[in-house]
Structures are given as C-alpha cells and as structure tokens.
Amino acid sequence: MEQKELQKLVEEISLFFFGLPFLHEARFNFRLRTTGGRYLLKSHDLEFNWRHYETFGIDELIGIIKHELCHYHLHLQGKGYKHQDADFKQLLAQVGGLRYCQVNEEARNKTLSTHCYCCIQCGLVYNRKRKINLKRYVCGKCRGRLKKII
C-alpha cells in the first residue's frame, strides 16, 4: 500500500463511519515500532506503523485508523480526545475501532536487553539495554564485582 492509497482509505473511513471529512495528511511512519499509529496534535496529521500493517494486514490497519480518527475528530470538535475520556471511549465503541493493537513481537524483541552482566560472587544476572561502567557499579545484592557476559 502506498501513501496515496492510505490517504484515500483514511478519507473514506472518515466519511463512512464518522460522517465528517478528513482534511489533513495520513502517512506511514517507518520509524514507529511499538505503536500502531498516532495522532499529531499540532499538525492534525495521522501516522501509521508500516510494519504493523505488513504483519497483521488490512483489517488491523482499519481498526487502527478508526482509533486515530476518534482522536482526530474529537480534538477538532473540542471534546475529550484522550484515551481516558468518556467521549473517546464512547465514539470508539460506536465506530468499532481498536482499543489496543496487536503486539508486534519482532519490534518487542529488538528493544529487549542487549547487555548481560553477572556478579562474580553470588552469580546474580543483570540484563540491561544500555552499557554500564563496571568500575562504577557493583552487585545490588552482595556488593560484588560485575562481569560482562554478553
């Protein structure tokens, strides 16, 4: 699916389910990893996760589009557009949008720890996303020295 097709799909869904036109830009954001889409408050544009569409298909994308259009239309009307607002929950249920999108395991695995440390004395294992200074940090359990495993 190209950007033009996505724009057309969002405009059609907006008119059919909400009865209101979508007057801004809809696009794929290839840097999104953990979310299906997002509504940009300042520009009123919508961004969608390409990998999510590629993995789960058009039905999941339509649910995400409905979710983001709820944010869009409620914000422009001056109503409660946030997830916890009653207006948002009511409109989302009315149009049949997704409250949560499916979890993309591929994106989740990339954010898991890449550095693994082990205490020399007690053997406790620490998994971290960021590298730590072994001269500065010690084991939180026994105050022993740490050693990098991976």
| CA–CA dist 69, 37 (Å, integer) | 10
Token representation of residue 96: 């049949």
Chain centroid to Cα 3, Å, comes to: 19
Active site residue 68: yes
Contact 138, 123 (CB under 8 A): no
Torsion of CA 98, 103, 108, 109, to 10 degrees: -160
Per the residue annotation, which of 2, 47, 68, 105 is the catalytic one?
A: 68
Angle subtended at Cα 134 by Cα 132 and Cα 136, rounded to the nearest 5 degrees:
90
Active-site amino acid positions: 68
